Amino acid sequence: MTGSPIAKVFLFGRNFGTLIALSFTVAVPAFFIVYALEQRLVLPALSVLFFGTAALAAVIALSTRARRNTENLNLWDIAGGLVITGCAASVMGEPEQVVQLFEHLFERRTYEQ
């Protein structure tokens, strides 16, 4: 493909709709996580979100048979970027925060009637 590198990045090809869908798949829950959770639980929750979305992007790339070694940006590149972002979020957090997140998510609530 000829043209500038910037044009190659913005011309995602036939998977442009998938890129938009994945962007919303990450952005909407990320805003909800930042708004709804306590500050100490945000990084572990974002890490889980990024790893899950990376897995979703990899499954989509595998099912659409996206080529792995291309000059253009593809779904494999997006999945890799999401994994790196998830790793960065998990490294910046503390292990105790992950435990608190899962306790918060899976705690049993008893409701009195």
d(CA 113, CA 99): 30
Which string of DSSP letters, residue by residue, matches 37-58? S-HHHHHHHHHHHHHHHHHHHH
Number of Cβ within 10 Å of residue 50's Cβ equals: 22
d(CA 80, CA 101): 25
pLDDT tens, the chain, 113 aa long: 455 554 455 445 555 676 787 788 889 999 998 998 888 888 888 999 999 989 988 888 888 876 677 666 778 888 899 999 999 988 888 888 888 888 877 876 655 55
- How is the chain split into domains, by residue range? 5-105
Would you give the DSSP letter of residue 68? S
Here the tokens at position 55 are 């897995």
**pTM confidence score:** 0.72
